[in-house]
């Protein structure tokens, strides 16, 4: 699996930009006004500014520093300092592959992004950061009791906590952090979702305790 | 004139008052206080106004306020005709607002200090301030995530309140101390929503959304 | 990455506010710790090996150098005009290359987006052609004949004006701006940024101004400049790579970037590459 889960679909609305890390690349992830997703190398080709600080306007992602606009294919569409200038074709953001399925956004920096097929209906719970590597996160999640009982582990990333099916995707963020993206079976009550949110915070406490 | 703000442009606490005034559409006067490098907030003149030696200070006639939470309360109750920024008629909601006003004071001592250390080499334990800031960002992320699960967005209730204004600056400015928002999606979306409120004003470290051609929020 | 060129320049390490007799402090220059003590009038700067470094007090700051054959500190003639108000604006720490901080100071195209409503505003984004040269006799970069629409060019400005600019780079880590002075059109306001290279990827900026402004309270002048510079800081800490790339393939300039292009070329030619990336990454 070369694709990395970078966030929950719910948390990136139209016209929003966020930063992610995929296979060592700093990535700007943005959603256009039609809901389409884009993942680019997080560097404006002009002066290296992180595009994740930019803004979406007229179907383009624009850099915060000088307002250069980039089309969905990455090509530079507009340079505000020279409004009459047709930007050369050579000015382009580096585009990576992105997809989403079952409420999760996936990016690959090396080939075509693929989302795992998921049976059943899922609803987003939350993305939670852990100050430890993914292995420790997985271990803690599988070994933190929910309502007095250890979760049952099914297929990769699939758990059942209490009577609720959970889906967990972990991805490293920098050298020392992990983002865990959690989803719950559709129809889980608000009280149930809040309880699971508390439970994954407890799992974080134990994951971060002890040697790194 | 409605009131006078003794102001330092880089202070997140002064910005709370500037932001609240902008969101309420209230005009006011400012007196610039050279907090850094001049340390003018410790001058005899400023100490006679505010013996605590902190900024901001708000004066309106004989009224002198030196705590930002008090200023926000006074501003909302004086100038907000909608009655939503300070929901005085709803005890439960008001309790939540007060809860997060209190929390905003913690943010000054954690994320605020971490920022001063990183930016102006303030003589405090930067590492400890950063660790405390991460703890506070997690607390806010937890609350805002619950709000998202409830179908909400703001800290308390269906509309923004003075609690949102009080918590916004030092959270939005935490990248000044190297504390990015990448790991906090609920905080990220909440910050974005505040930056889109009608009348919103920016400060150094917090930029306009620039989505419309008007140059600010548009 | 050469330190060699950099060691023979002068750098600011303190202003008057920082110099409190009896309260010496430690700072860093070119990756090495320094001890600064004494008073603003009689400062003492000591290297880690105990060596007392040369010092001079100019332009509101204490300057020092670590090299064995220092080049003379550049001259800013306006510093001797006693009817000006001199405004040191403190020190701001930035996690970026000292050269990135200078290059940003030389850039006008970012004004509408980063200094919105003050130094620039959409739709007035266009940058007209201007002139850039390396003045070989003085070994300085100069950009002249720059004009830009500014909503509030200075604290003393009461309305939007077409501001005239000249930029001067007298040393790799210093940039001086000569700018239309709203209350005194026949003179220039002088705004400089003196950069202390803490390391290749970390710097302390000491903004300093020499203005004609009899009206604005002093604190307003300081805050006006601090507001501008702190708006830039959030950009500077998000440019990647952190070092300034000198290979023209790494960052694509356009016409309005002529000052930056010449600045980068000048640095490369001189070997002033401390804080620079000299090969494509």
B97 and B178 in a single domain? The answer is: yes
C-beta atoms of A65 and C125 within 8 A: no
> Which chain A residue is nearest to residue C127, measuring alpha carbons?
A81
Give me the percent of chain C exceeding a pLDDT of 70: 99
Instruction: Give domain status of residue B187, yes or no.
Output: yes
In angstroms, the Cα distances linking B145 to A143, B138, B141, B148, B173 are 24, 10, 6, 5, 20
- The chain-wide mean pLDDT, for chain C, equals 96
Does position B132 have pLDDT exceeding 50, yes or no?
A: yes
pLDDT the model gives residue A114: 96
Please state the rounded mean pLDDT for residues A130-151. 95
pLDDT the model gives residue C1: 52
- Lowest-pLDDT range, A143-152, C22-31, C154-163? C154-163
Instruction: Give domain status of residue B157, yes or no.
Output: yes
User: Minimal CA–CA distance to C233: which of C108, C92, C121?
Assistant: C92
- Minimum-distance CB partner of C113 among B178, B205, B210: B210
pLDDT the model gives residue B218: 39
Q: Containing domain of residue B118, as a range?
A: 91-195
B99 and B186 in a single domain? The answer is: yes
Within 8 A of A134 by CB-CB distance, chain B residues are none
Does position B214 have pLDDT exceeding 70, yes or no?
A: no
- C135 burial (CB, 10 Å; 0-12 / 13-18 / 19+) is exposed
CATH number at residue B135: 1.20.1050.10
- CB half-sphere exposure, A117, CA atoms < 13 A: 1
C-beta atoms of B146 and A197 within 8 A: yes
Instruction: Give domain status of residue B164, yes or no.
Output: yes
- Written as one string, the DSSP assignment of A22-87 is ETTEEEEEEE-TTS-EEEEESS-TTT-B-GGG-EEETTEEE-TTT--EE-TTSBEEE-TTSTT---
- Against chain B, the chains showing at least 3 CB pairs within 8 Å are A, C
B104 has a chain C CB within 8 A of its CB: no
Query: B146 to chain A, minimum CA–CA distance in Å?
Result: 7
What are the tens digits of pLDDT across the range A1-15? Answer: 589 999 999 999 999
Does position A212 have pLDDT exceeding 60, yes or no?
A: no
Element (H, E) at C168: strand C161-171
- Against chain A, the chains showing at least 3 CB pairs within 8 Å are B, C
Q: With H, G, I as helix, E, B as strand and everything else as coil, classify residue A206.
A: helix
pLDDT the model gives residue B108: 98
> Which chain C residue is nearest to residue B212, measuring alpha carbons?
C122
C-beta atoms of C117 and B8 within 8 A: no
B75 and B96 in a single domain? The answer is: no
Torsion sign across C-alpha atoms A129, A132, A135, A136: negative
What are the tens digits of pLDDT across the range A61-99? Answer: 999 999 999 999 999 999 999 999 999 999 999 999 999
- Minimum-distance CB partner of B38 among C93, C219, C237: C219
Q: Which residues have CB under 8 Å from C65's CB, separation 6+? A: C7, C8, C9, C10, C11, C53, C54
Confidence grade of residue C281 (pLDDT, cut at 50, 70, 90) = low
pLDDT the model gives residue C182: 85
Confidence grade of residue B56 (pLDDT, cut at 50, 70, 90) = very high
A→B interface, C-beta within 8 Å: 7-8, 10-13, 15-16, 18-20, 53, 55-57, 62, 64, 67, 125-127, 129, 131, 173, 177, 179, 190, 193-194, 197, 201
What value of ipTM does the predicted structure carry? 0.97
pLDDT the model gives residue C62: 98
* Total structural domains within chain B: 2
Query: B151 to chain C, minimum CA–CA distance in Å?
Result: 32
Instruction: Give domain status of residue B35, yes or no.
Output: yes
pLDDT the model gives residue C280: 67
Torsion sign across C-alpha atoms B149, B153, B159, B162: positive
- Minimum-distance CB partner of B146 among A12, A64, A194: A194
User: Minimal CA–CA distance to B186: which of A37, A129, A196?
Assistant: A129
C-beta atoms of A81 and C125 within 8 A: yes
Element (H, E) at B114: helix B113-120
Domain ranges of chain C: 75-277
| CATH number of the domain located at residue range(s) A122-208 in this protein | 3.30.70
| CATH number of the domain located at residue range(s) C75-277 in this protein | 3.90.380.10
The tokens describing C1, both together, are 């990455």
Within 8 A of A82 by CB-CB distance, chain C residues are 126-127, 254-256
CATH number at residue B35: 3.40.30.10
Domain ranges of chain A: 4-108, 122-208
Please say whether the structural domain A4-108 has been given the CATH code 2.102.10.10.
yes
C-beta atoms of C238 and A53 within 8 A: yes
What are the tens digits of pLDDT across the range C198-250? Answer: 999 999 999 999 999 989 999 999 999 999 999 999 999 999 999 999 998 99
Preferred mutation among B137, B142, B150, B185 to probe A, highest tally of A CBs within 10 A = B185
C-beta atoms of C126 and A53 within 8 A: no
- CB half-sphere exposure, A34, CA atoms < 13 A: 6
B26 and B67 in a single domain? The answer is: yes
pLDDT the model gives residue C154: 86
Between CA B28 and CA B34, with CA B32 as vertex, the angle to 5 degrees is 160
Pairing of the two strands C276-277 and C244-245: parallel
Length of chain B: 218
C239 φ, ψ (degrees, to nearest 5): -90, 135
**Most confident segment among A75-84, A117-126, C184-193:** A75-84
C-beta atoms of C18 and B119 within 8 A: no
- Against chain C, the chains showing at least 3 CB pairs within 8 Å are A, B
Give me the percent of chain A exceeding a pLDDT of 70: 98
B67 and B103 in a single domain? The answer is: no
pLDDT the model gives residue B216: 52
Preferred mutation among A32, A52, A56, A127 to probe B, highest tally of B CBs within 10 A = A127
What are the tens digits of pLDDT across the range B75-108? Answer: 999 999 999 999 999 999 999 999 999 999 999 9
């Amino acid at each position: 699996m070369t694709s990395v889960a970078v966030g929950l679909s719910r948390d990136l609305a139209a016209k929003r930009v966020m930063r992610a890390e995929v296979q060592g690349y700093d990535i700007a992830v943005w959603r256009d006004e039609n809901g389409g997703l884009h993942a680019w190398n997080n560097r404006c080709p002009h002066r290296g500014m992180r595009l994740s600080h930019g803004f979406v306007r007229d179907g383009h992602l624009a850099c915060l520093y000088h307002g250069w606009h980039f089309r969905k294919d990455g090509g530079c569409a507009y340079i505000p300092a020279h409004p009459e200038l047709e930007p050369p074709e050579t000015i382009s953001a580096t585009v990576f592959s992105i997809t989403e399925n079952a409420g999760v956004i996936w990016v690959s920096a090396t080939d075509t992004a693929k989302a795992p097929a998921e049976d059943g209906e899922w609803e987003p719970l939350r993305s939670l950061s852990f100050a430890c590597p993914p292995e420790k996160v997985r271990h803690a999640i599988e070994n933190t009791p929910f309502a007095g009982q250890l979760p049952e582990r099914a297929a990769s990333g699939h758990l059942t906590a209490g009577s609720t099916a959970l889906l967990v995707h972990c991805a490293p963020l920098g050298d020392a952090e992990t983002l865990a993206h959690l989803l719950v079976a559709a129809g889980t009550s608000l009280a149930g979702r809040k309880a699971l949110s508390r439970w994954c915070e407890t799992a974080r406490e134990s994951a971060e305790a002890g040697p790194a | 004139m409605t009131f006078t703000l003794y102001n330092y442009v880089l202070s997140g606490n002064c910005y709370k008052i500037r932001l609240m005034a902008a969101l309420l559409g209230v005009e006011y006067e400012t007196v610039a206080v050279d907090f850094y490098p001049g340390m003018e907030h410790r001058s005899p003149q400023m100490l006679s106004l505010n013996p605590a030696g902190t900024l901001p200070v708000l004066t309106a006639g004989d009224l002198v306020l030196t705590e930002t939470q008090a200023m926000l309360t006074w501003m909302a109750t004086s100038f907000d005709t909608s009655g939503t920024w300070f929901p005085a008629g709803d005890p439960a909601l008001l309790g939540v607002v007060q809860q997060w006003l209190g929390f905003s004071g913690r943010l000054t001592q954690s994320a605020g200090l971490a920022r001063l250390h990183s930016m102006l080499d303030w003589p405090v334990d930067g590492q400890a301030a950063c660790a405390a800031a991460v703890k506070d960002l997690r607390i806010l992320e937890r609350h805002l995530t619950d709000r998202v699960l409830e179908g909400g967005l703001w800290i308390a209730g269906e509309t923004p309140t003075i609690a949102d204004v009080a918590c916004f600056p030092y959270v939005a400015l935490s990248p000044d101390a190297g504390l990015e928002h990448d790991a906090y999606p609920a905080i990220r979306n909440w910050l974005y929503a505040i930056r889109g409120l009608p009348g919103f004003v920016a400060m150094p470290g917090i930029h306009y959304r620039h989505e419309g051609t008007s140059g600010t929020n548009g | 990455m050469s330190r060699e060129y950099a060691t023979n320049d002068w750098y600011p390490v303190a202003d008057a506010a920082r110099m409190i007799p009896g309260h010496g402090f430690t700072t860093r220059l070119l990756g090495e710790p320094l001890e600064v003590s004494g008073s603003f009038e009689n400062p003492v700067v000591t290297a880690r090996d105990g060596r007392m470094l040369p010092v001079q007090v100019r332009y509101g700051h204490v300057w020092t150098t670590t090299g064995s054959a220092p080049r003379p500190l550049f001259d800013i003639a306006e510093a001797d005009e006693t009817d000006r108000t001199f405004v040191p604006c403190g020190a701001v720490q930035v996690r970026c290359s000292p050269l990135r901080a200078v290059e940003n100071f030389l850039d006008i195209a970012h004004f509408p987006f980063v200094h919105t409503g003050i130094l620039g505003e959409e739709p007035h984004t266009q940058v007209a052609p201007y002139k850039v040269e390396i003045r070989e006799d003085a070994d300085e970069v100069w950009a002249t004949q720059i004009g830009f629409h500014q909503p509030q060019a200075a604290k003393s400005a009461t309305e939007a004006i077409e501001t005239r600019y000249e930029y001067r780079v007298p040393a790799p880590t210093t940039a001086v701006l000569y700018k239309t002075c709203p209350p005194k059109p026949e003179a220039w306001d002088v705004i400089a940024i003196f950069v202390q290279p803490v390391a290749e990827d970390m710097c302390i900026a000491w903004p300093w101004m020499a203005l004609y402004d009899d009206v604005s309270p002093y604190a307003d002048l300081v805050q006006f400049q601090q507001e501008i510079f702190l708006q830039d800081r959030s950009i500077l800490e998000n440019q990647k790579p952190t070092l300034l790339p000198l290979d023209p393939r790494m960052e694509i300039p356009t016409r309005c970037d002529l000052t930056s292009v010449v600045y980068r070329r000048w640095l490369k030619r001189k070997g002033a590459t401390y804080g620079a990336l000299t090969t494509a990454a």
